[in-house]
A and B are shown apart, each in its own frame.
Chain A
Amino acid sequence: MGMITDGLPGFLEPLPGGSAVLTKVDQLVNWSRSNSLWPLTFGTSCCAIEMMMASGAARHDISRFGAEVVRASPRQADLIIIAGTIVKRMAPRLRTLYEQMAEPRYVIATGSCTIAGGPFIYHSYTTIRGADEIIPVDVYVPGCPPRPEALFYGLLTLQKMIREGESLRHPGERRRPVLSALPEGMTIEDIQAEMRDLLVADANVKMSEELAEGAHWAQELKDF
């Protein structure tokens, strides 16, 4: 993968039609990256409980989004969900973990504390006022703590960012961070519907639909 992502743009770009091919390769690479985010097991306080509810519990299943492979080592992870207050003693460790993670790496900051320091913003001798003072953040998920639905919404936002924002021509360059607030009244069913639309929009499902027209599982997927 490293050979492709590093060498391909310089090889393809000068060729006739190479630019169009590269755009297609971009789409393929971004699609695979966005659907195989491996989060790091990293939680520092109460937001981590909600993250555990999202990634390990029964009702909310983060593996629907291809992000269930929670790794215990930063070298095997490419997504860090900062779940909880970051204090002065934790900040260098967080920085180290981030730098040990595999490229390309993504950061979701969940909860008030990681966004701005939360309730500890004033008169605190130790709370870092926003995790983005330590590492760059891609998606902010507000809440205190955010429900698993909100975390999933943030994950979908990150997936959209990866699919639309990256190119092999400019490795490491990404869009500006976004605040992914769950809209008022949005429920887990709405998120499931959005995820279903994404699945249907993905090329593999579309092609299978034509091949397996009338197949029982294709109909079930539509009715899901």
Chain B
Amino acid sequence: MQDSPPPGEDQAGEVGFAQALLAAAQAIEPATVLRDKSDRITLQVPAAAIAKICQWLRDDPALRFDLLYDHTAIDWPAENRFELVYLLAAVLDPQPRTRDLQVMVTTSVPRDNPVIDTVCGIWPIAEWQEREVYDMFGILYTNHPDLRRLFLEDDWEGFPLRKDYEDDFMLERPT
């Protein structure tokens, strides 16, 4: 990452930064790809490599993405997968190298076995965000210290933001 151009205001600078970021990420995890259709730089990584990639994004002196400002999931029933989204920003680093730059890291886990490594050892705030995602989607985070429901009652059955969720309270739209 030492040779990568700094992200500029112009489009060309950002594209160059994205390519350099991709090259560095592929050195860690070769299956990483850059997503085309995205409003920000998006790295798609295999689920097994998420902790490694996140550790690198936070610790690399040229990047220092020290804030995980959102973590959520998307349910794709047709493709039988949950897409997990990690939104990163660099706010503490005095060097304006990655300032004003947001990077998205996505990965996918199968719907019938949604297990992934936790990142709360990297960003402590992830402990709460992963609890919320567990609450709503039922993603299981290995090595999470306290994986309980966050918003819903403890005895709630099912995960309401899954597309196939149903309960007695819900009202169907009359046709």
Of the candidates B153, B165, B171, B172, the one having the most CB atoms from chain A within 10 angstroms of its own CB is B171
| Residues of chain B from 10 to 31 with CB closer than 8 A to chain A in the complex | none
**Contact A126–B172 (Cβ < 8 Å):** no
Q: Name, among B160, B167, B169, the residue most crowded by chain A CB atoms within 10 Å (CB to CB).
A: B169
- Shortest distance between the CB of B155 and any CB in chain A (Å): 13
How far apart sit A125 and B165, CA to CA, in the bound complex (Å)? 9
Asked if A125 and B160 make an inter-chain contact with CB atoms under 8 angstroms apart, the answer reads yes
Nearest to B160 among chain A residues (CB) is A125
Which residue on B lies nearest to A125, using beta carbons? Answer: B160
Cα(A216)–Cα(B164), bound, Å: 71
B37 at the interface (CB under 8 A from A): no
Q: Please provide the chain A residues from 40 to 89 with a CB less than 8 Å away from any CB of chain B in the complex.
A: 88-89
For the complex formed, measure the closest distance between the CB of B164 and the CB atoms of chain A, giving whole angstroms.
12
Partner of A122, one of B153, B160, B171: B171
Contact residues in B for A126 (Cβ distance below 8 Å): 160, 169
Chain B 150-175 near chain A by CB (<8 Å), digits 1 or 0: 01010000001000010101111100
Q: Hey, what's the 0/1 contact readout for A95-123 against B, CB within 8 Å counting as 1? A: 00000000000000000000000000111
Which residue of A88, A89, A122 is within 8 Å of B172 (Cβ)? A122
Please give, as numbers and ranges, the residues of chain A lying within 8 Å of B171 by CB-CB distance.
121-124, 129
Chain A interface size, as a band, is under 10
Q: Are B169 and A125 in contact (CB under 8 A)?
A: yes
A120 to B18, CA, bound (A): 39
B137-152 contacts to A (CB < 8 Å): 151
Interface of A is mostly: loop
Q: In whole angstroms, what is the CA distance A138 to B42 when docked?
A: 52
- Of all chain A residues, which has the CB nearest B161? A125
For B153, what are the chain A residues with a Cβ–Cβ distance below 8 Å? Answer: 89
Residues of B in contact (CB 8 Å), total 10
**A87: nearest chain-B partner, CB-CB:** B151
Residues of B within 8 A of A121 (CB): 171
A214 to B173 CA separation, bound complex (whole angstroms): 64
Q: B158 — nearest CB in chain A belongs to which residue?
A: A125
B173 and A125 form a contact (CB under 8 A): no
How many Å lie between the Cα of A125 and that of B160 in the bound state?
7
What chain A residues lie within 8 Å of B160 (beta carbons)? Answer: 125-126
Bound-complex Cα distance A121 to B173 (A): 9
- Give chain B nearest CB distance to A193 CB in angstroms: 42
- In whole Å, how far is B154's beta carbon from the nearest beta carbon of chain A? 12
List B contacts of A123 (CB < 8 A). 170-173
Provide the bound-state CA to CA distance between A124 and B173, in Å: 11
A123 to B167, CA, bound (A): 9
**What's the least CB distance linking B136 to chain A, in Å?**
10
Is there an interface contact between B167 and A125, defined as CB atoms closer than 8 Å?
yes
Contacts of B169 in A (CB 8 A): 88, 125-126
Query: How far apart are B133's CB and chain A's nearest CB, in angstroms?
Result: 16
Taking CB as reference atom, which chain A residue is nearest B172? A122
**Which residues of B66-95 have CB atoms within 8 Å of chain A's CB atoms?**
none
A-B contact pairs, 22 of them (CB 8 A): A88-B169, A89-B151, A89-B153, A121-B171, A122-B170, A122-B171, A122-B172, A122-B173, A123-B170, A123-B171, A123-B172, A123-B173, A124-B170, A124-B171, A125-B160, A125-B165, A125-B167, A125-B169, A125-B170, A126-B160, A126-B169, A129-B171
- B residues with CB within 8 A of A: 151, 153, 160, 165, 167, 169-173
Q: Which residues of A contact B (CB under 8 A)?
A: 88-89, 121-126, 129
Q: Which 7 A-B pairs have the closest CB atoms?
A: A125-B160, A122-B173, A122-B171, A125-B170, A123-B170, A125-B167, A121-B171
